[in-house]
Amino acid sequence: MKIVLDRPRCEGHGLCEEAAPQLMHLDEHGELVLDREELADTDASTAQAAVRVCPVAALRIA
C-alpha cells in the first residue's frame, strides 16, 4: 500500500499532518513532504485518516 500526493492540488492546510505526523509534515515553505510513501499495515488507518481530512483531496491511497 502506498500514499500518493497530488502536489499541484495540495494547498498546505496541514490537516493531514495533524492526522498522520509520523507519515508526513509541512516543510518551511508550507509544502507537504511525505516521510514514508510505502505504508506498513500498522500505518493504513492513520493514512486513511489523513486522506479523509484533506479538504482538497490531494491525497489518496494506492
In angstroms, the Cα distances linking 45 to 22, 31, 38 are: 12, 23, 13
pLDDT at 55: 97
Alpha-carbon distance of 19 to 40, in angstroms, equals: 16
pLDDT at 23: 95
How confident is the model over 7-56, as pLDDT tens digits?
A: 999 999 999 999 999 999 999 999 999 998 788 888 899 999 999 999 99
Domain ranges (residues) in the chain: 3-61
| Grid coordinates of 7 | 502536489
CATH of domain 3-61: 3.30.70.20
pLDDT at 49: 96
Alpha-carbon distance of 7 to 47, in angstroms, equals: 17
- The neighbouring-strand residues paired with 4 are 60
pTM of the model: 0.89
pLDDT at 27: 96
